[in-house]
């Protein structure tokens, strides 16, 4: 059973605890239920954090049980190289990487504005050993980014519909013998990000990016960006069309 740990901060920038505000939890509960209908069981654990201290306690417990959890989703306001807790208190990158060290086989998704630039991703991956880190390079709208995050997590934890091309060039999802949609699943997070861009172009438009480190003997680790890979694939496709 795949494990997803969700850590969410308050969204009210003034820290008003009793004001109404959105939450990622209903979206993720719906994903867990829909994946369960398709036979993919997901263990979902949700907790709130308010300060760097709270987040540190939760992340250390996550790492203690890292065989249980495959993905950690952290949702909060963000700025360059830092997350924002209750009342806008900063949780800096250096503090965060210390909390997340070591994280082998764990992937992190940050639902936060401006946080995950390439230099931040490289720092985080090198210092934590995480399998991948994903998030946004610019300011993002809450609802649209939540839809992108939800679809990515659904694809990663449960897979996505298999699509084929008909002889007329249409893209259709074939049905299995039981009249259910065929599901394809990948353990490669970069491939999952590519599937997300293919099906939901908004993900690329609002700079959702997944980073991994490519390690080769005798060379420095190389940062691989799903955003750049997708952009290069589009350019190749356009060149091929021009050459026809």
- DSSP result, the chain: -EEEEEEE----TT--TTS----SHHHHHHHHHHHHHTT--EEEEEEE--SHHHHHHHHHHHHHTTTT-SEEEEE-EEETTEEE-GGG-EEEHHHHHHHT-S-TT-EEEEE-TT---HHHHHHHHHHH--SEEEEESS---HHHHHHHHHHHHHHHHH-EE--EE-TTS-EE--B-TTSPBPEE--S-HHHHHHHHHHH-THHHHTTEEEEEEE--TTS--EEEEHHHHHHHHHHHHHHHHHH-
User: Residues 204-222: what's their mean pLDDT?
Assistant: 90
**CATH no., domain 2-243:** 3.40.50
Task: Quote the pTM value.
Answer: 0.89
Please check whether residue 81 is in contact with residue 116, taking contact to mean a CB–CB distance below 8 angstroms.
no
Question: What are the tokens at 217?
Answer: 């003997």
Non-local (6+) Cβ contacts of 198 within 8 A are none
User: Residues 172-184: what's their mean pLDDT?
Assistant: 65
What pLDDT is attached to residue 171?
64
Q: What is the pLDDT of residues 100-116, one digit of tens each?
A: 999 988 999 999 999 99
- Gyration radius from the chain CA atoms: 19
- Of the ranges 118-132, 149-163, 171-185, which one carries the lowest mean pLDDT score? 171-185
pLDDT of 174 above 70: no
- Of the ranges 30-34, 173-177, 211-215, 227-231, which one carries the lowest mean pLDDT score? 173-177
- pLDDT-derived band at 190, boundaries 50, 70, 90: very high
What pLDDT is attached to residue 219?
78
Q: What percent of the chain has pLDDT over 70?
A: 87
What pLDDT is attached to residue 183?
76
- Write down the domain spans for the chain: 2-243
- pLDDT-derived band at 3, boundaries 50, 70, 90: very high
What pLDDT is attached to residue 12?
84
When the pLDDT of each residue in the chain is averaged and rounded to a whole number, the result is 88
Q: What is the pLDDT of residues 38-77, one digit of tens each?
A: 888 999 999 999 999 999 999 999 998 878 899 999 999 9
What pLDDT is attached to residue 116?
96
pLDDT of 240 above 60: no
pLDDT of 167 above 90: no
């Amino acid at each position: 059973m795949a494990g997803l740990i969700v850590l969410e901060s308050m969204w009210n920038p003034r820290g008003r605890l009793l004001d109404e505000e959105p939450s990622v939890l209903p979206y993720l509960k719906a994903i867990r239920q829909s994946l369960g209908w398709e036979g993919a069981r997901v263990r979902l654990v949700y907790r709130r954090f308010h300060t760097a201290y709270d987040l540190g306690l939760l992340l250390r417990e996550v790492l203690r049980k890292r065989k249980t959890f495959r993905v950690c989703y952290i949702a909060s306001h963000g700025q360059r190289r830092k997350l924002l807790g209750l009342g806008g208190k900063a949780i800096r990158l250096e503090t965060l990487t210390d909390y997340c060290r070591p994280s082998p086989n764990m992937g992190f998704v940050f639902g936060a504005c401006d946080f995950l630039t390439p230099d931040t991703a490289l720092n985080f991956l090198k210092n934590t050993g995480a399998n991948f880190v994903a998030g946004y390079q610019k300011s993002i709208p809450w609802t649209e980014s939540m839809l992108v995050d939800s679809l990515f997590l659904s694809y990663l934890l449960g897979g996505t519909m298999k699509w084929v091309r008909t002889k007329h060039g249409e893209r259709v999802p074939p049905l299995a013998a039981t009249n259910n949609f065929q599901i394809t699943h990948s353990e490669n997070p970069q491939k999952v990000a590519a599937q997300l861009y293919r099906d939901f172009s908004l993900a690329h438009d609002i700079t959702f990016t997944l980073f991994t480190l490519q390690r080769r003997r005798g060379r420095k680790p190389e940062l691989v960006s799903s955003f750049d890979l997708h952009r290069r694939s589009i350019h190749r496709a356009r060149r091929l069309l021009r050459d026809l």
